[in-house]
Amino acid sequence: MIKKYKWNRFLKERQYHWMIEWTEKLPKREYKIFLILGALFLVSFIYLAFISYFSNTIKIPAPGGIYTEGLVGSPHFINPILAPANEVDRYLSKLIYPSLLEYNILGEAVPYLAKDYKVDNQGKEYTFFLDENAVWEDGSKITAQDVVFTIKRIKDPVFSSPLFRIWDGVKVEVIDDKTVRFILESPYAFFLQNATLGIMPSHIWENIAPESFALSEYNLKPVGAGPYRFKSLKQDNDNNIINISLEANANFFKKSPFIQKISFKFYKSQKEAINALKNKDINGLDSFPPYEINSIKSSKYNVYNFSLPRYFALFINSNKNTDLKNKSVREALARSINKEELIKEILNEQAEKVESPISKSLIKYYVSDITRYDYDVDKAKKILSENGFNKENPLKIVLTTIDDPLLNQISEKIKDFWEKAGIKAEVKLIELSRLREDIIRYRDYEIFLFGQALQLQADPFSLWHSSQISYPGLNLTNYTNKKIDNILTKLRETFNIAEQKELFKEFQQIISEDIPAIFLFSPYNTLVVDNKIKNIQTGTISLLEDRLNQITNWYINTERKSKN
């Protein structure tokens, strides 16, 4: 209890003399009651003020904060022409270089650098109209010449761009400062996927000679026009880049990001990166392995799963094992595999089952009513028996896959499934460095466990057309079907969504009936992030780096705003 003379002194200092005179007349007991009532009134007033404040205001995102993400690998060429060859470069380029279009979280291609576009001449001409407010981070205007410059560098074989093949044969021309046109040799319904390419500033790069292009400092200190700009990099004693910092681009022509600084730390292995997350050295880690999910404390982190149009399958090469030419044998192999158990036990539910090359993420094209080969080990045994296989004469299979911890577990699980059906299986592991020679060039496998990816503008031509059987084609099953070839060719010329869906339905049904491959699952891209990072929305993305398309909506700091 406050002593009476201290209370009087407090009032005197504030010139409340009348109250001093009044309280001095109070008996000691009444004086204490007065103080208690006064304290209660003050507490009630403060409480009601707080209630009124919180009931009449809402919490909203506020600028500020630093987000640190771990990436496995290191940057080499942070520019859209060379970046596709390196995952780290693709992530950084996504934040720095704007594209004509980008995908939203619903998987829809929406305007970015281009405010609009139109398709003419039966799908052979695509015209894009650029945002008048778009500028590079140094204040220079972005023009159609920047777009033409970027495409011409890609098309020039001297620059060795990984994108050369998809732009070969495409003409590009400036209509005016804010209008650019692409002219194709033939109609191509999936061309909008090409428009998600990052655009480079011609005024920065045009005077750099081709032989100096890969050596330019702008590959590691880029100048762009995205939501973030390069700030600094840090190297270790061996000159390896271990950190790159970005800051919000003050000249960004779209909505400014809430998070003001982003730092990327680079690690040599996934194990190092996971330990860094657990030790709070980083706030987030992408492509998180499913077998590590349970090691993360849910109270500190949020787990986000993004769907992608990719799938893992067992690609069957009957040229290496003639028993596999028998469709019934392929069916027995398919029915021996319990996909639900595989996804639950090995993938920790971080995937969904697939029955064809078109997963549910391709919502425009996916159909569910196709031929399926559900798990039925007894039926598999019966099929094998009817085709002359038994304990004395078992079906023998060599399953090849990349030497990778997760793929190793999956292949061993499949081997177990097959052995329960009486199939004698052997697992063969190859180094990733041998993929191009052993697998892509020479097709040296009987059955190959591997993943393939489409994009949201899904064109399966390169993966399933018979013209792609020979190297460098990616028809890994050597599959030939004239109906499929006709469908894939027609798809490229069909712009009507309803007609496309019918063609995709027929494509999925024929593939399912023929069983050139056993389709297993479509894995999620799992992002684990410190729970202080807010407003990360999951959905469908075309490429891994496309989850960053929504990064301007992420936030750390908050403030309160009146509801009125």
Does the structure show a pLDDT above 60 at 472? yes
Supply the pLDDT for residue 51. Answer: 76
Handedness of CA 350, 87, 114, 165 (dihedral sign): negative
Q: How many domains would you assign to the chain?
A: 3
Do 120 and 192 fall into the same domain? Answer: yes
Does the structure show a pLDDT above 70 at 12? no
426 in a structural domain: yes
Report the alpha-carbon distance of residue 508 to residue 170 in Å, rounded: 30
Supply the pLDDT for residue 23. Answer: 57
Stronger pLDDT, 216 or 11, i.e. the higher one: 216
Give residue-wise pLDDT tens across range 375-393: 999 999 999 999 999 999 9
Supply the pLDDT for residue 562. Answer: 79
Q: Does residue 472 have a cis bond before it (omega within 30 degrees)?
A: yes
92 in a structural domain: yes
Give residue-wise pLDDT tens across range 108-128: 899 999 999 999 988 999 999
Does the structure show a pLDDT above 90 at 482? yes
The four Cα atoms 344, 349, 351, 352 give a dihedral, to 10 degrees, of: 70
Do 199 and 217 fall into the same domain? Answer: yes
Do 100 and 224 fall into the same domain? Answer: yes
Do 424 and 553 fall into the same domain? Answer: no
Does the structure show a pLDDT above 80 at 355? yes
Give residue-wise pLDDT tens across range 401-420: 999 999 999 999 999 999 99
550 in a structural domain: yes
Q: Read off the pLDDT of each residue in 350-373 and give the average, rounded to a whole number.
A: 94
Supply the pLDDT for residue 428. Answer: 97
Report the alpha-carbon distance of residue 489 to residue 486 in Å, rounded: 5
Q: Which pair of structure tokens corresponds to residue 260?
A: 């003001």
Element (H, E) at 522: strand 517-523
Domain termination site, one of 55, 78, 98: 55
Do 32 and 76 fall into the same domain? Answer: no
Do 257 and 402 fall into the same domain? Answer: no
What range defines the domain where residue 387 resides?
A: 310-523
Give residue-wise pLDDT tens across range 302-325: 999 999 999 999 999 999 999 999
Do 74 and 153 fall into the same domain? Answer: yes
Stronger pLDDT, 200 or 12, i.e. the higher one: 200
Q: How confident is the model at residue 1 (pLDDT cuts 50, 70, 90)?
A: very low
Q: Read off the pLDDT of each residue in 428-447 and give the average, rounded to a whole number.
A: 93
Do 276 and 401 fall into the same domain? Answer: no
Q: Which amino acid is at 388?
A: G
Three-state DSSP class for residue 136: coil
Report the alpha-carbon distance of residue 528 to residue 278 in Å, rounded: 11
Do 370 and 489 fall into the same domain? Answer: yes
511 in a structural domain: yes
Report the percentage of the chain scoring pLDDT > 90.
84
DSSP string, 234-279: EE-TT--EEEEEEEE-TT-SSPPPS--EEEEEEESSHHHHHHHHHT
pTM (predicted TM-score): 0.88
Q: Read off the pLDDT of each residue in 290-305 and give the average, rounded to a whole number.
A: 89
Q: How does 159-192 read in b/e, with b if 16+ C-beta sit within 10 Å? A: bebebeebbeebebebeeebbbbbebeebbbbbb
Does the structure show a pLDDT above 70 at 25? no
How far is the CA of 140 from the CAs of 56, 68, 137, 410, 531, in angstroms? 44, 29, 7, 52, 38
Q: How confident is the model at residue 29 (pLDDT cuts 50, 70, 90)?
A: confident
Supply the pLDDT for residue 338. Answer: 98
Report the alpha-carbon distance of residue 26 to residue 37 in Å, rounded: 14
Q: How confident is the model at residue 4 (pLDDT cuts 50, 70, 90)?
A: low
Report the alpha-carbon distance of residue 330 to residue 380 in Å, rounded: 10
Supply the pLDDT for residue 39. Answer: 77
| Contact between 372 and 340 (Cβ < 8 Å) | no
- The CATH number that applies at residue 490 is 3.10.105.10
Does the structure show a pLDDT above 50 at 359? yes
Do 386 and 368 fall into the same domain? Answer: yes
Report the alpha-carbon distance of residue 143 to residue 538 in Å, rounded: 33
131 in a structural domain: yes
481 in a structural domain: yes
Supply the pLDDT for residue 47. Answer: 79
Does the structure show a pLDDT above 50 at 11? no
User: Which of 40-49, 140-149, 502-511 has the weakest average pLDDT?
Assistant: 40-49
Do 107 and 241 fall into the same domain? Answer: yes
Q: How confident is the model at residue 26 (pLDDT cuts 50, 70, 90)?
A: low
- The CATH number that applies at residue 213 is 3.40.190.10
User: Which of 6-10, 267-271, 293-297 has the weakest average pLDDT?
Assistant: 6-10
60 in a structural domain: no
61 in a structural domain: no
Do 163 and 272 fall into the same domain? Answer: yes
Q: How confident is the model at residue 9 (pLDDT cuts 50, 70, 90)?
A: low
